[in-house]
């Protein structure tokens, strides 16, 4: 966890400028040596602070810190009324894990939103690590209750992916696409992803933690990512702040969740089809150690990917399936 004194240190460094150890010590009320120890602790936790001998300390670029009040001010009135708790925290293992703990301890209600500056154990689909540098991206989780059972939520990740694509388009990034089941891509590089976790009965009300990761800036830790990636700052002259991005996403997401609960994924098929990056493209499905080659043919109303292979249409559900575009795919 980031301590109060470390929070004050990061607030001062968030402008991206160089700050001497002496000046930081005066600001924090500690010695220059103590400043160095705090910096070391933050560095060891994974936060990239540049230490320059006799020059001071700096982050690689300025960071606009998360601000709950600003997020609320940017929400549409009817959306703001449905989100009783929007909380920003400095750090956690992952926003999904933290919100799931609060749900199980009855400390969070539907409509709770959790955002963090830094994740020490960010998670993606299939147990993969989600690289989560300090202030570099949007790490958001929303707790939402659905009245139907678990089966009625098949395809929910696709709905969230549509909301992500609509949000970044609203903020100026045209041409983002979705790779089944719920990865946001731009220029065939990953821009964002979704992690859905469920808690409920098969035929009763279900609580869902919807986790979203969207890359805003990842320059310091790009080498740790095992697939082509991109970030908003690489494509927009004036990329949105994470506060603006949060509000745009929530303004888009909640109406889509309502429509999905009332009418199912079928009501959103035109939106998906307009964003589907792999439709009619050669693909490879990786499942339980096997590879299945075929051509993607869209999805069905349950969110399953349809793949034409050997003259037959097979359906694949997200689960432990991994999808890749074939290297000999069409242009």
Active site positions, annotated: 125, 190, 324
Using CA atoms, how far apart are residues 18 and 28, in angstroms rounded to an integer?
Answer: 16
Cβ neighbours of residue 286 closer than 8 Å, sequence gap 6 or more: 321, 322, 323, 324
Using CA atoms, how far apart are residues 316 and 301, in angstroms rounded to an integer?
Answer: 12
Place of tokens 């968030």: 14
HEC assignment per residue over the chain: CCCHHHHHHHHHHCCCCCECHHHHHHHHCCCHHHHHHHHHHHHHCCCCCEEECCCEEECCCCCCCCCHHHHHHHCCHHHHCCCCEEEEEEEECCHHHHHHHHHHCCCCCCCEEEEEEEECCCECHHHCECCCCCCCEEEEEEEEEECCCHHHHCCHHHHHHHHHHHHHHHCCCCCCEEECCCEEEECCEEEEEEEEEEEECCCCCEEEEEEEEEECCCHHHHHHCCCCECCHHHCCCCCCCHHHHHHHHHHHHHHHHHHHHHHCHHHHHHHHHHHECCCCCEEEEEECCEEEEEEEEEECCCCCEEEEECCEEEEECCCCCEEEECCCCCC
Compute the half-sphere exposure of residue 17: CA atoms within 13 Å on the CB side of its CA.
7
């Amino acid at each position: 966890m980031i301590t109060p004194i470390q929070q004050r240190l990061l607030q001062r460094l968030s402008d991206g400028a160089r700050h001497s150890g002496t000046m930081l010590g005066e600001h924090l009320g500690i010695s220059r040596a103590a400043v160095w120890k705090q910096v070391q602790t933050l560095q060891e936790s994974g936060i990239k602070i540049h230490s320059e001998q006799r020059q001071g300390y700096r982050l690689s670029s300025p960071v606009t810190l998360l601000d709950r009040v600003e997020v609320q001010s940017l929400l549409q009135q009817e959306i703001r009324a449905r989100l009783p708790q929007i909380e920003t925290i400095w750090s956690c293992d992952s926003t999904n894990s933290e919100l799931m703990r609060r749900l199980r301890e009855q400390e969070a209600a539907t409509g709770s939103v959790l955002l963090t500056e830094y994740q020490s154990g960010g998670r993606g689909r299939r147990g993969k690590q989600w690289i989560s540098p300090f202030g570099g991206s949007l790490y958001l989780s929303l707790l939402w209750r659905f009245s139907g059972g678990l089966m009625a939520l098949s395809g929910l990740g696709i709905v969230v992916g549509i909301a992500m694509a609509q949000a970044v388009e609203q903020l100026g990034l045209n041409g983002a696409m979705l790779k089944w089941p719920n990865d946001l891509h731009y220029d065939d590089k990953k821009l964002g992803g979704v992690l859905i976790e469920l808690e409920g009965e098969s035929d009763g009300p279900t609580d869902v933690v919807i986790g979203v990761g969207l890359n805003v800036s990842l320059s310091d830790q790009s080498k740790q990512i095992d697939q082509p990636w991109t970030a908003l700052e690489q494509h927009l002259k004036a990329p949105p702040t994470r506060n603006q991005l949060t509000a745009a996403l929530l303004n888009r997401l909640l109406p889509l969740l309502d429509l999905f609960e009332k009418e199912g994924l079928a009501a959103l098929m035109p939106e998906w089809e307009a964003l589907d990056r792999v439709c009619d493209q050669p693909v490879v499905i990786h499942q339980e150690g096997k590879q299945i080659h075929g051509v993607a043919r869209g999805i069905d109303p349950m969110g399953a990917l349809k793949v034409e292979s050997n003259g037959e249409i097979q359906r694949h559900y997200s689960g432990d399936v991994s999808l890749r575009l074939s290297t000999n795919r069409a242009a």
